[in-house]
Amino acid sequence: MRGVDRGAEQEFRKELVALLPRLRRFAWSLTSDRTEADDLVQAACERALSHMHQWKPGTRLDSWMFRILYNLMIDETRRSRKKKVHMPLDEELLATAQSDGTRRMEAKVQLKQVLEAMMKLNPQERALLSLVCIEGMSYKEAADTLGIPIGTVMSRLARARKKLYQMVKGKK
Amino acid sequence: MEKSITDELIMAYVDGELEEDERRLIEEAIKDDEHLREKVRMFKESSQMLQGVFDAPIREEVPQQLIRLIEGSEKRNVAPGWWERLTRSVGRFFGFQAPVPAFAVTAACILIAGLVALIYFKSGPSQNNGTGPIALSQFADFQEGISKTQSGASFLIKEAKVKVTPVLTFKDKEFPYCREFEVIPVGSDRSMEVPAGTGIACLSQRNRWQVITYVSIPKIKKKGVTQNGYELAGRENPVDALVEKRRDGSPLSRDEELEKIKSGWR
């Protein structure tokens, strides 16, 4: 890799591997599709590895990767335009998460409802929900990651949360 | 007072983003205002709901090809040819890390083909001769169980030595109702005809449930190869994908499902 010494490169790869579960979760929340999410993570990792020299050690790798992943998703959305709403579920995960049958069924129904509702929001709203509500980022960190002002984060995030809540709870 | 308390401010209170004086202002305001308290609940619940739903990737194992991609042990920029992929697959099947030599691949292919043929001719094709998973619907226990058991609960088909658990009920584009179900073998007899898996049963006009699809658990579809030569990391459960294609509207809630069971699916 250009301009990156071997030790730093190894450290970078190690941190990136450790970040994979969160990247897969972020990608899933953006796409609502496990297969597309993993493909997106793969593309983001390829991009990150080929642009490793652009990452500044000491800064947050998670924010950098989330930004790459989000931008790739936006590019892909612009390219294809017709985004299908397609939501396969992961049986094994639900099986381990919900050993009790009733809870499992309810979790499955809620998962479908939330995934559908997420796909009705725009990509930036989905990303904000994911970064703040799921990843636990502060408004400032989310603003930096997406490159938007903090005031915009607050107004769009509040609107997205209301919309999501109404769509999911409204169905019940 | 309430006019100055915006949704953004309430949300920031819930997310712990306010300074002490602002936080006190909100706490004071929500004390006597049910409407504001409702908003606090809404912002809290929206967060909890998302955390719960998207928790799975944190607990599960990361696909090995993503890790290999980052650790740099996979060939990059060149898509592996079909022969290389075959030798790798055969190697992995027999527990080797590196691609195996050509003669070994040929021998392995002959061995696998022989085994498959032996199993096929011994047991016959599972879906066309009245046995196998699709034949589940021939069992009276299946008809009764799938019609009367709520999602999440299980019933037994003694003859087939399997436990069936409906997991989801939905209105179908072709049939009035369909149910996704899972099958787990019970007992020590491994010669049974129905392997563990997941399927869809639909209610026909003759008021019988017929199994329209069944996939045994290890069969997970893999997608192709990316332009950069990596095998794509994504997986999908084909039964869930089919449910998404078939269902007409949202899946039935627990109450709606119970109502249908009680009314005999009318």
CATH of segment(s) A93-172? 1.10.10.10
Q: Which of A97, A102, A106 sits opposite B56 (nearest CB)?
A: A97
pLDDT tens, position by position, for chain A (172 residues)? 455 677 788 889 999 999 999 999 999 999 988 888 999 999 999 999 989 888 888 889 999 999 999 999 988 877 665 444 444 444 444 544 444 566 667 777 788 889 989 999 999 999 999 999 999 999 999 999 999 999 999 999 999 999 999 998 874 4
pLDDT tens column, B72-127 = 754 444 444 455 555 555 555 555 544 555 556 566 656 665 665 555 444 433 33
Flag if A132 and B15 touch (Cβ within 8 Å). Answer: yes
pLDDT tens column, B171-185 = 898 888 999 988 887
Residue of A34, A126, A153 to mutate when probing chain B, most B C-beta within 10 A? A34
Flag if A46 and B232 touch (Cβ within 8 Å). Answer: no
Q: Are residues B143 and B218 in the same domain?
A: yes
Most confident of A157-166, B136-145, B151-160: A157-166
Q: Are residues B222 and B186 in the same domain?
A: yes
Residue numbers of the domain that contains B34 = 2-56
CATH of segment(s) A1-83? 1.10.1740.10
Residue of B10, B26, B45, B70 to mutate when probing chain A, most A C-beta within 10 A? B70
Shortest Cα–Cα distance, A164 to chain B (Å): 7
Q: Are residues B251 and B214 in the same domain?
A: yes
> DSSP letters along chain B, please?
-GGG--HHHHHHHHTT-S-HHHHHHHHHHHHT-HHHHHHHHHHHHHHHHHHHHTTHHHHSPPPHHHHHHHHT-S--SSPPPHHHHHHHHHHHHTT-SSPPPHHHHHHHHHHHHHHHHHHHHHH--TTTSS-SGGGGGGSHHHHHHHHH--TT--EEETTTTEEEEEEEEEEBSSSSEEEEEEEEE-SS-TT-SS-SEEEEEEE-TTS-EEEEEEEETT--EE--B-TTSPBP--EE-HHHHHHHHHB-SSPPPHHHHHHHHHTT--
Shortest Cα–Cα distance, A147 to chain B (Å): 19
Quick one: pLDDT at residue B96? 53
CA-nearest residue of chain A to B166?
A105
Quick one: pLDDT at residue B9? 94
Shortest Cα–Cα distance, B147 to chain A (Å): 17
Question: Which residues from A are below 8 Å from B55, CB to CB?
Answer: 25, 97
Is there a domain that residue B22 lies in?
Answer: yes
Flag if B152 and A103 touch (Cβ within 8 Å). Answer: yes
Is there a domain that residue B222 lies in?
Answer: yes
Is there a domain that residue B128 lies in?
Answer: no
Q: What is the ipTM of this complex?
A: 0.83
Flag if A158 and B53 touch (Cβ within 8 Å). Answer: no
